[in-house]
């Protein structure tokens, strides 16, 4: 059976096959991923990573992973429910719940599972889901799996959110679901207004803090801490693939909700548990996050400088408020040409084009790391000045 015509992005696959060295997708990283990476035998300054606190190459984190392998081996050989529940998993859930100020935490094997599994398990088909249009694909997947009717308000449109709440059946359970930090444009949800509307209409709130933990708030506790609204969210989800320098995910909530998820969530019950080295990595990253608060301050110092300089050059950085700083281009070919310009000059960033973003919203997605040096950032800004002059002069 020929399924190639069903690919929504078939032309990109063709482009990739024919231009392996010049395509922004599936570039091979030769070694560790830090403030710089090796690609095609050349060092590139990495401004396309979610390694916000720069912990993927931290000696303490690597040592913790090595010690875990030496003690526990390389895998758990089963699900948490059966034979794969280590004391490390229990310790991580305890320390993470304490850090977030929640009663309990459940750890998933991927961040995608933390959203798709949690939402599809706690939301029933006769409930009502109200979501931000820019929510991550894992949230959308969880909503679809729940089979509950889903309303999607325009991005951060609180009037639209209230209209959906006011017109929905008050006898049904209603869930407002949003990202804390939106992964493409780097802006933050309006949690104070979401919280107010949830109380007014008796709705529950689920927030995905994948790009918020380790980034927002004085202690890196995420969106609630950033707004001073601790315990305003009913269920908090997140991932370990950003600030925690690893892979996996979690949901944090009341003891009753977490107990229910552990007993009934398919993506927790029917998948192998997170390997020992991964759990130890996350635990050590969490402990560093709690003690080395200067990393968060430096991260925002870098991001604020880059955002200010890019805006002064005439770039459209959207509504970025975080280390995720998009550069809106609006044209696919020009976006890829801009990526090539940066790549040829030793800078690696990400490209987001339709259908990953709406048609006409094609962009370069840049993101910054607490361990970027002043000289690296100066070089990045120097290349962006040239890009504006040579390629993107008319945007």
Give me the residue label for tokens 């015509």.
Answer: 5
How far apart CA 174 and CA 205 sit, in angstroms, is 9
Select which of 44, 102, 136, 211 is catalytic.
Answer: 211
How far apart CA 187 and CA 168 sit, in angstroms, is 28
3-class secondary structure, 254: coil
Q: Is 183 a catalytic residue?
A: yes
CA pseudo-torsion sign 150, 183, 349, 113 = negative
How far apart CA 202 and CA 206 sit, in angstroms, is 13
Residue 206 structure tokens? 């689920």
How far apart CA 262 and CA 239 sit, in angstroms, is 17
Residue spans of alpha helices (H) in the chain: 10-18, 59-72, 87-100, 111-122, 137-146, 158-167, 191-201, 223-227, 255-264, 266-269, 276-291, 294-312, 332-344, 374-390
Q: Is 242 a catalytic residue?
A: yes
How far apart CA 106 and CA 232 sit, in angstroms, is 19
How far apart CA 190 and CA 319 sit, in angstroms, is 13
Select which of 183, 232, 253, 352 is catalytic.
Answer: 183
Select which of 44, 102, 195, 242 is catalytic.
Answer: 242
Residues annotated as catalytic are 183, 211, 242
């Amino acid at each position: 059976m020929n399924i190639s015509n069903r690919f929504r992005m078939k032309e990109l696959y063709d482009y990739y096959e024919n231009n392996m060295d010049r395509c922004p997708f599936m570039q091979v990283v030769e070694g560790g991923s830090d403030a710089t990476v090796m690609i095609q035998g050349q060092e590139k300054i990495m401004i396309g990573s979610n390694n916000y606190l720069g912990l993927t190459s931290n000696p303490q984190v690597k040592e913790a992973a090595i010690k875990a392998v030496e003690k526990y081996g390389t895998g758990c050989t089963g699900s948490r429910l059966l034979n794969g529940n280590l004391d490390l998993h229990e310790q991580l859930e305890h320390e993470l719940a304490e850090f977030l100020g929640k009663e309990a935490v459940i750890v998933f094997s991927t961040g995608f599972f933390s959203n798709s599994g949690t939402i599809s398990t706690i939301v029933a088909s006769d409930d009502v889901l109200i979501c931000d249009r820019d929510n991550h694909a894992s949230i959308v997947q969880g909503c679809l799996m729940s089979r509950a009717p889903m309303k999607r308000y325009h991005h951060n449109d609180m009037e639209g959110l209230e209209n959906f709440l006011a017109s929905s059946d008050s006898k049904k359970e209603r869930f407002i679901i949003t990202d804390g930090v939106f992964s493409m444009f780097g802006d933050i949800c309006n949690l104070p207004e979401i919280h107010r509307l949830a109380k007014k209409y008796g709705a529950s709130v689920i927030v995905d803090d994948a790009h918020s933990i380790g980034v927002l708030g004085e202690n890196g506790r995420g969106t609630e801490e950033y707004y001073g609204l601790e315990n305003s969210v009913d269920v908090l989800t997140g991932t370990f693939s950003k600030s925690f320098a690893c892979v996996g995910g979690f949901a944090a909530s009341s003891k009753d909700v977490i107990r229910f998820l552990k007993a009934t969530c398919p993506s927790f019950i029917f998948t192998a548990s997170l390997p020992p080295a991964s759990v130890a990595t996350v635990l050590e990253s969490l402990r560093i996050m709690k003690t080395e608060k200067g990393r968060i301050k430096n991260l925002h110092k870098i991001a604020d400088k880059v955002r200010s300089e890019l805006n002064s050059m005439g770039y459209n950085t959207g509504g970025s408020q975080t280390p995720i700083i998009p550069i809106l281009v609006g044209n696919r070919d020009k976006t890829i040409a801009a990526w090539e310009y940066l790549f040829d000059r030793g800078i690696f960033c990400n490209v987001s084009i339709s259908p990953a973003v709406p048609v006409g919203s094609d962009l370069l997605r840049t993101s910054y790391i607490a361990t970027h040096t002043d000289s690296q950032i100066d070089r990045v800004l120097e290349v962006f000045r040239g890009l504006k002059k040579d390629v993107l002069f008319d945007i």
